[in-house]
Structure 1
Amino acid sequence: MLLRLCLLLLTLLTLPATAPPEPGLTERNFQPLFDKYGLRGSLLLYDAKAGKYVAYNPKRCRQGFIPASTFKIPNTLIGLETGALRDTAEICKWDGVKRSFPQWNEDMTYARALRVSCVPCYQQLARRVGVARYQQQLRRLGYPGMQVTAATLDTFWLGGPSRLTSFEQIAFLRRLQAEKLPVALRHQRAVKQLLVLRQTPAYTFCGKSGWRFRSATNRDIGWFVGWLARPDGRTIFFALNAETQPDHVADERFQTGRRAIVEQALAELGWMQ
């Protein structure tokens, strides 16, 4: 009996401790907002002044997903910093291939390419940057989880094993917003300006969407990431990740719902008035 008690005590002492709740994180149920648009997913908000997170579905916030077109943010910075992109006014020539998004079927500046999420334009840029410079610059930027090879050079942010969590999205955006990335200041400011979606006396709202398209094995996955800057010095960062319900395809609610959920959550918390 004594031997059994000793073995039990030894087992209990060697078990890993239960992880304590993450400091500065409050859970909030935003499921009604997701239901409104027929989506399911997660939303992570970070109040920089208070140093606190608000999370809906924190487990999913820690799960990695392909960044899709949210990668256009670091991609533009890398293009500018390496000289592969002269400036955001540089024209990307349409390759003549008609695609299902009509706004992609024309010549455009890279400033517009980011705003309309023109995948072919950024694939052209990727081939100019090259594998070695991506690997180097991604390490410098502290942008984790990206796997770039010669075979996936112009698709690695759209499919494959590259993954980024909502916490990692916000960590990167915080450094960009504060202009503390190891990138020329003029490049950081140029990209920040492209992310401005709305400016009012009460706030500046910046963001970028992302969409990993449905395939035979995957549902549509969407992102909306960015920040809300207020004149009182308070900045709220956000990272929404959402997917369609099983057996549903992405429709207008998917396309508009990602941003709408974030805006309604910010308003609900009193941060966007």
Structure 2
Amino acid sequence: MLKRLLATGLLSLSLLQTTMAQQVEPCEEGEACTLALYSEVSEKWQFINPSRAHQDFAPYSTFKIPNTLILFETGQINSADSYSIDLHRYPQQSWWFSSWREPAHKLKSAFDHSVLPLYQQWSADLGKTAYEQYVAEFGYGNKDVSGPVDRFWLGDSLQISAVNQVEFLRKYKHRQLGLKDATYEEFEPVFLQRSGQNVRLYAKTGGGMLPEGGARGWYVGIVEDAAGSHYFAFNMDAENFSQLAKIRVEKALASLRAFNVSVPAMKD
């Protein structure tokens, strides 16, 4: 069981975002990475490695975007309450990150730190039927939630491409997912990661180990500036998860800047 979690849950985190001393280069043609970008300003798609942008991969923790929306919509969670991990169902493990060991979490913290055991127990409590319904209605990836209800997004049955990630985000932004207005409004501050003068970045990381070795990671979201909204999905492969976590976000942002999409600086 531990080996299974280490290969999926532990490494599906949005943690370990280390600031790099050296300049991180954008994704380039021929590398094991891709960027799918749709700007409503130009109403055009732009790609780095377009064939990879259409390949389906496990969403890992980027599934926390639709999952949190589903959990809000069904009343499983809210932004005001604090939540504790049920240690009888998900006993504390030696590999848990310090942020997971806190006695309680607000939703924003659970989302940003990808507190896997909380999302697992919420998903298990909600049940498979709800996920079958909402994932199908969202048109999210291959819509296959046949894997275990508390980890089907962690390299199990659910798969999605960078292009479909962007299409899902556009539906979310335009409130075309069939959800209550209150659900979108409650989720927006959870999704927000950075803000600056006339620029906001909404985003989520995700990643995990690959069966054949190495790691794969995501960074997906929306940049809103004075001109409009830019929807992006970036993924890349790395030799190991540590290497992936060090450069994933900055490589994605460098790739956005290569297409003249500005992003706000990280706050201290």
Shorter-chain TM-score: what band? Answer: 0.7 to 0.9
Percentage identity across aligned positions?
26
- Structure showing greater Rg: 1
- Look up the match of 2:253: 263
- Look up the match of 1:241: 235
| 2:136–2:143 CA contact under 8 A, matched in 1 | no
Within 2, Cα distance between the matches of 1:160 and 1:185? Answer: 31
- Look up the match of 2:200: 204
The residue correspondences of 1:14-93 to structure 2 (distance < 5 A) are 32-34=25-27, 40-85=32-77, 87-93=78-84
Query: Which among 81, 105, 110 is matched to residue 107 of structure 2?
Result: 110
| 2:208–2:217 CA contact under 8 A, matched in 1 | yes
Within 1, Cα distance between the matches of 2:27 and 2:39? Answer: 21
Name structure 2 gaps, 5 residues minimum.
1-23, 264-268
| 1:226–1:239 CA contact under 8 A, matched in 2 | yes
1:189: how far off? Answer: 2.0
Within 2, Cα distance between the matches of 1:135 and 1:214? Answer: 25
The residue correspondences of 1:178-257 to structure 2 (distance < 5 A) are 178-215=174-211, 217-232=212-227, 234-244=228-238, 248-251=239-242, 253-257=243-247
CA RMSD, 1 decimal: 2.0
Within 1, Cα distance between the matches of 2:172 and 2:245? Answer: 25
| 1:89–1:111 CA contact under 8 A, matched in 2 | no
Within 2, Cα distance between the matches of 1:140 and 1:146? Answer: 9
Within 2, Cα distance between the matches of 1:226 and 1:179? Answer: 15
| More divergent stretch after superposition (53-62 vs 39-48) | 39-48
Work out whether 1:176 is the aligned partner of 2:167.
no
Query: Which among 105, 116, 119 is matched to residue 119 of structure 1?
Result: 116
Within 2, Cα distance between the matches of 1:235 and 1:176? Answer: 12
| 1:70–1:208 CA contact under 8 A, matched in 2 | yes
| 1:44–1:56 CA contact under 8 A, matched in 2 | yes
Calculate the TM-score normalised by the size of structure 2. Answer: 0.80
Calculate the TM-score normalised by the size of structure 1. Answer: 0.79
- Look up the match of 2:142: 145
SS in 2 for 1:84: coil
| More divergent stretch after superposition (187-196 vs 64-73) | 187-196
Within 2, Cα distance between the matches of 1:141 and 1:263? Answer: 26
Within 2, Cα distance between the matches of 1:89 and 1:145? Answer: 33
- Look up the match of 2:266: none
Q: Taking CA–CA contacts closer than 8 Å with sequence separation of 6 or more, which of the two structures ends up with the larger relative contact order?
A: 2
Over residues 161-198 of structure 1, what are the superposed CA-to-partner deviations in whole Å (9 max), with x where a residue is unaligned?
Answer: 32101111000101112223211111112222212111
The amino acid across from 2:151 in the alignment is T
Over residues 89-140 of structure 1, what are the superposed CA-to-partner deviations in whole Å (9 max), with x where a residue is unaligned?
Answer: 3322132503332111122122211111111110011111101111111122
| 1:146–1:157 CA contact under 8 A, matched in 2 | no
1:160: how far off? Answer: 1.6
The amino acid across from 1:220 in the alignment is A
Name structure 1 gaps, 5 residues minimum.
1-30
1:227: how far off? Answer: 1.0
Which segments of structure 1 move beyond 3 Å, counting only runs of 4 or more?
Answer: none
Over residues 42-80 of structure 1, what are the superposed CA-to-partner deviations in whole Å (9 max), with x where a residue is unaligned?
Answer: 111111121111101111000000000000011011111
The amino acid across from 2:40 in the alignment is A
